[in-house]
Amino acid sequence: MRKLMILAALLAATWQPAAADDLAPLPLVLPPPAMKGTPQVLPTNTTALPLTSDPRPPFLAPKGVVNVALGKPVTASDTNLINGDLKLITDGKKEAYEENVVTLRRGLRWVQIDLQAEYKLYAIVIWHDFNIPLVYRDVIVQLSNDPEFKTGVQTIFNNDQKNTAGLGIGTDREYFENSLTGAGKLIAAKGIPSRYIRCYSKGSTDSALNSYIEVEAYGLPGQ
Protein backbone atom coordinates (compact mmCIF):
# COMPACT_ATOMS: atom_id res chain seq x y z
CA MET A 1 0.00 0.00 0.00
CA ARG A 2 2.82 2.39 0.91
CA LYS A 3 4.48 1.79 -2.49
CA LEU A 4 1.22 2.56 -4.28
CA MET A 5 0.84 5.80 -2.31
CA ILE A 6 4.40 6.85 -3.18
CA LEU A 7 3.84 6.06 -6.89
CA ALA A 8 0.59 8.07 -6.91
CA ALA A 9 2.38 11.03 -5.32
CA LEU A 10 5.15 10.90 -7.93
CA LEU A 11 2.64 10.80 -10.79
CA ALA A 12 0.74 13.74 -9.33
CA ALA A 13 3.96 15.70 -9.04
CA THR A 14 5.13 15.04 -12.61
CA TRP A 15 1.86 15.40 -14.56
CA GLN A 16 0.45 18.88 -14.88
CA PRO A 17 -2.40 20.08 -17.13
CA ALA A 18 -1.69 22.96 -19.45
CA ALA A 19 -1.95 26.31 -17.72
CA ALA A 20 -4.91 28.46 -18.70
CA ASP A 21 -2.56 31.07 -20.17
CA ASP A 22 -1.19 28.44 -22.57
CA LEU A 23 -4.63 27.63 -24.01
CA ALA A 24 -6.76 29.34 -26.62
CA PRO A 25 -9.96 28.55 -28.53
CA LEU A 26 -9.36 26.15 -31.40
CA PRO A 27 -8.79 28.16 -34.63
CA LEU A 28 -11.69 26.36 -36.30
CA VAL A 29 -13.50 28.01 -39.20
CA LEU A 30 -16.97 26.54 -39.81
CA PRO A 31 -18.63 26.20 -43.18
CA PRO A 32 -22.01 27.93 -43.60
CA PRO A 33 -25.11 26.05 -42.44
CA ALA A 34 -26.67 23.85 -45.11
CA MET A 35 -30.24 24.66 -44.10
CA LYS A 36 -32.34 26.97 -41.95
CA GLY A 37 -35.05 25.88 -39.56
CA THR A 38 -35.23 22.50 -37.85
CA PRO A 39 -36.87 19.90 -40.11
CA GLN A 40 -40.13 18.45 -38.86
CA VAL A 41 -39.04 14.85 -39.32
CA LEU A 42 -35.75 13.62 -37.84
CA PRO A 43 -34.39 10.10 -37.29
CA THR A 44 -35.49 8.71 -33.95
CA ASN A 45 -33.73 5.33 -33.88
CA THR A 46 -30.54 6.84 -32.49
CA THR A 47 -28.74 7.63 -29.24
CA ALA A 48 -27.95 11.14 -30.53
CA LEU A 49 -28.86 14.18 -28.47
CA PRO A 50 -31.56 16.41 -29.99
CA LEU A 51 -30.49 18.53 -32.93
CA THR A 52 -29.83 22.14 -31.95
CA SER A 53 -28.85 25.36 -33.66
CA ASP A 54 -26.98 26.55 -30.56
CA PRO A 55 -23.28 27.23 -31.17
CA ARG A 56 -20.82 24.75 -29.73
CA PRO A 57 -18.85 26.02 -26.71
CA PRO A 58 -15.27 27.00 -27.56
CA PHE A 59 -12.80 24.11 -27.43
CA LEU A 60 -9.54 25.08 -25.74
CA ALA A 61 -6.24 23.74 -27.05
CA PRO A 62 -2.59 24.76 -26.69
CA LYS A 63 -1.76 27.99 -28.45
CA GLY A 64 -0.29 27.54 -31.90
CA VAL A 65 -2.21 24.44 -32.96
CA VAL A 66 -3.06 24.32 -36.66
CA ASN A 67 -4.85 21.93 -38.98
CA VAL A 68 -1.99 19.55 -39.73
CA ALA A 69 -4.21 17.40 -41.98
CA LEU A 70 -4.61 20.13 -44.61
CA GLY A 71 -3.43 18.86 -47.99
CA LYS A 72 -2.17 15.55 -46.57
CA PRO A 73 -2.66 12.27 -48.50
CA VAL A 74 -5.75 10.15 -47.88
CA THR A 75 -6.27 6.44 -48.47
CA ALA A 76 -9.37 4.31 -47.92
CA SER A 77 -10.59 0.76 -47.51
CA ASP A 78 -12.72 1.31 -50.62
CA THR A 79 -10.80 1.55 -53.89
CA ASN A 80 -13.96 1.91 -55.99
CA LEU A 81 -15.52 5.18 -54.89
CA ILE A 82 -19.10 6.05 -55.75
CA ASN A 83 -18.11 9.67 -56.37
CA GLY A 84 -15.43 12.21 -55.56
CA ASP A 85 -11.69 11.97 -55.00
CA LEU A 86 -10.05 11.14 -51.66
CA LYS A 87 -7.92 14.28 -51.80
CA LEU A 88 -11.11 16.32 -51.27
CA ILE A 89 -11.20 15.09 -47.65
CA THR A 90 -8.21 17.28 -46.72
CA ASP A 91 -8.50 20.11 -49.26
CA GLY A 92 -9.95 22.64 -46.80
CA LYS A 93 -13.30 22.96 -48.61
CA LYS A 94 -16.04 22.20 -46.10
CA GLU A 95 -19.20 23.58 -47.69
CA ALA A 96 -22.02 21.07 -48.09
CA TYR A 97 -21.83 21.15 -51.88
CA GLU A 98 -22.06 18.06 -54.03
CA GLU A 99 -18.63 18.70 -55.56
CA ASN A 100 -17.04 18.51 -52.08
CA VAL A 101 -18.52 15.12 -51.16
CA VAL A 102 -16.59 11.84 -51.33
CA THR A 103 -18.79 8.73 -51.16
CA LEU A 104 -17.59 5.22 -50.37
CA ARG A 105 -19.64 2.08 -50.90
CA ARG A 106 -21.94 0.47 -48.37
CA GLY A 107 -20.72 -1.51 -45.36
CA LEU A 108 -18.02 -0.72 -42.82
CA ARG A 109 -15.50 1.58 -44.52
CA TRP A 110 -12.59 3.72 -43.38
CA VAL A 111 -10.57 6.66 -44.62
CA GLN A 112 -7.03 7.23 -43.39
CA ILE A 113 -4.92 10.39 -43.33
CA ASP A 114 -1.13 10.29 -43.35
CA LEU A 115 0.10 13.42 -41.59
CA GLN A 116 3.58 12.59 -42.95
CA ALA A 117 5.13 13.25 -39.54
CA GLU A 118 4.25 12.72 -35.91
CA TYR A 119 2.17 15.42 -34.27
CA LYS A 120 0.69 15.88 -30.85
CA LEU A 121 -3.00 15.92 -31.72
CA TYR A 122 -5.57 17.81 -29.65
CA ALA A 123 -8.73 17.70 -31.76
CA ILE A 124 -10.10 15.85 -34.77
CA VAL A 125 -13.06 17.41 -36.59
CA ILE A 126 -15.12 15.39 -39.08
CA TRP A 127 -17.70 16.55 -41.58
CA HIS A 128 -19.67 13.78 -43.21
CA ASP A 129 -22.27 14.98 -45.71
CA PHE A 130 -24.37 17.45 -43.68
CA ASN A 131 -26.73 18.64 -46.40
CA ILE A 132 -29.55 17.28 -44.24
CA PRO A 133 -29.50 16.25 -40.56
CA LEU A 134 -28.68 12.57 -40.36
CA VAL A 135 -26.77 10.18 -38.11
CA TYR A 136 -23.80 8.12 -39.22
CA ARG A 137 -23.48 4.64 -37.74
CA ASP A 138 -20.43 3.02 -36.14
CA VAL A 139 -18.31 6.15 -36.19
CA ILE A 140 -14.91 5.18 -34.82
CA VAL A 141 -11.78 7.34 -34.84
CA GLN A 142 -8.37 5.83 -34.14
CA LEU A 143 -4.81 7.18 -33.99
CA SER A 144 -1.54 5.34 -34.53
CA ASN A 145 2.02 5.59 -35.78
CA ASP A 146 1.51 2.29 -37.62
CA PRO A 147 0.06 2.74 -41.13
CA GLU A 148 -1.58 -0.71 -40.90
CA PHE A 149 -3.12 0.04 -37.48
CA LYS A 150 -1.87 -3.21 -36.00
CA THR A 151 0.18 -1.72 -33.16
CA GLY A 152 -0.04 1.32 -30.91
CA VAL A 153 -3.68 1.98 -31.83
CA GLN A 154 -5.57 4.42 -29.63
CA THR A 155 -9.32 4.84 -30.07
CA ILE A 156 -10.46 8.37 -29.24
CA PHE A 157 -14.10 7.99 -30.31
CA ASN A 158 -16.40 4.99 -30.73
CA ASN A 159 -20.21 5.13 -30.86
CA ASP A 160 -20.60 1.52 -32.03
CA GLN A 161 -22.42 0.43 -28.88
CA LYS A 162 -23.27 -3.03 -30.29
CA ASN A 163 -19.77 -3.80 -31.60
CA THR A 164 -21.10 -4.46 -35.08
CA ALA A 165 -17.80 -3.18 -36.50
CA GLY A 166 -15.85 -5.68 -34.42
CA LEU A 167 -13.51 -3.03 -32.99
CA GLY A 168 -14.86 -3.10 -29.45
CA ILE A 169 -17.99 -1.86 -27.73
CA GLY A 170 -18.23 1.92 -27.95
CA THR A 171 -19.43 4.14 -25.13
CA ASP A 172 -19.89 7.39 -27.06
CA ARG A 173 -23.26 8.61 -28.29
CA GLU A 174 -24.30 8.90 -31.89
CA TYR A 175 -24.69 12.47 -33.16
CA PHE A 176 -26.45 14.46 -35.84
CA GLU A 177 -24.58 15.89 -38.78
CA ASN A 178 -25.57 19.44 -37.95
CA SER A 179 -27.01 21.15 -41.03
CA LEU A 180 -28.12 24.09 -38.86
CA THR A 181 -24.63 25.15 -37.75
CA GLY A 182 -22.11 23.37 -40.00
CA ALA A 183 -20.18 22.55 -36.85
CA GLY A 184 -18.88 19.07 -37.72
CA LYS A 185 -18.06 16.52 -35.03
CA LEU A 186 -15.23 17.68 -32.76
CA ILE A 187 -13.37 14.90 -30.95
CA ALA A 188 -10.77 15.59 -28.25
CA ALA A 189 -7.43 13.87 -28.94
CA LYS A 190 -5.68 14.82 -25.66
CA GLY A 191 -2.26 15.48 -27.16
CA ILE A 192 -1.72 11.90 -28.34
CA PRO A 193 1.40 11.72 -30.58
CA SER A 194 0.35 10.21 -33.91
CA ARG A 195 1.10 10.18 -37.61
CA TYR A 196 -1.99 8.40 -38.92
CA ILE A 197 -5.72 9.01 -38.41
CA ARG A 198 -8.29 6.40 -39.36
CA CYS A 199 -12.04 7.17 -39.42
CA TYR A 200 -14.65 4.42 -39.73
CA SER A 201 -18.37 4.53 -40.51
CA LYS A 202 -21.06 2.10 -41.59
CA GLY A 203 -23.76 4.01 -43.44
CA SER A 204 -26.24 6.43 -41.95
CA THR A 205 -29.90 6.88 -41.17
CA ASP A 206 -30.29 8.15 -44.74
CA SER A 207 -28.22 5.66 -46.75
CA ALA A 208 -26.05 2.55 -46.55
CA LEU A 209 -23.27 4.53 -48.26
CA ASN A 210 -20.47 6.39 -46.46
CA SER A 211 -19.76 10.03 -47.28
CA TYR A 212 -17.13 12.55 -46.18
CA ILE A 213 -16.63 16.22 -46.89
CA GLU A 214 -13.62 17.06 -44.70
CA VAL A 215 -11.46 15.82 -41.83
CA GLU A 216 -9.27 18.24 -39.88
CA ALA A 217 -6.66 17.45 -37.25
CA TYR A 218 -5.38 20.17 -34.93
CA GLY A 219 -1.96 19.61 -33.44
CA LEU A 220 1.60 20.65 -32.80
CA PRO A 221 4.82 19.07 -34.06
CA GLY A 222 5.83 15.99 -32.06
CA GLN A 223 8.96 16.03 -29.94
The answer to whether residue 115 sits within a structural domain is yes
Specify if 38 maps to a domain. Answer: no
pTM: 0.89
Contact 57, 204 (CB under 8 A): no
Closest residue by Cα to residue 173 from 186, 162, 160, 164: 160
Measure the CA–CA gap between 170 and 174, rounded to whole angstroms: 10
Assigned domain for 93 exists: yes
Residue 194 lies in a domain: yes
Surface-to-core class of residue 112, CB atoms within 10 Å of its CB (0-12 exposed, 13-18 middle, 19+ buried): buried
Whole-number pLDDT of residue 43: 86
Q: What CA–CA distance (Å, rounded) separates 103 from 209?
A: 7
Q: Is residue 177 part of a domain?
A: yes
Report the domain count for the chain: 1
Q: How does DSSP assign 148-206, residue by residue?
A: TSSSS-EEEEE--TT-TTSS----SPP-B--TTT---EEEEEEEEEEEEEEEEE--BSS
pLDDT, averaged per 10 consecutive residues of the chain (223 residues), comes to 39 44 94 81 90 94 97 96 97 96 97 98 97 95 98 98 96 96 97 98 96 98 77
Q: What is the pLDDT of residue 35?
A: 81
Q: Can you give the CATH number for the domain in which 90 is found?
A: 2.60.120.260
Name the residue type at position 201. Answer: S
> Is residue 151 in some structural domain?
yes
pLDDT of residue 40: 67
Per the structure, the complete domain to which residue 139 belongs is given by 64-221
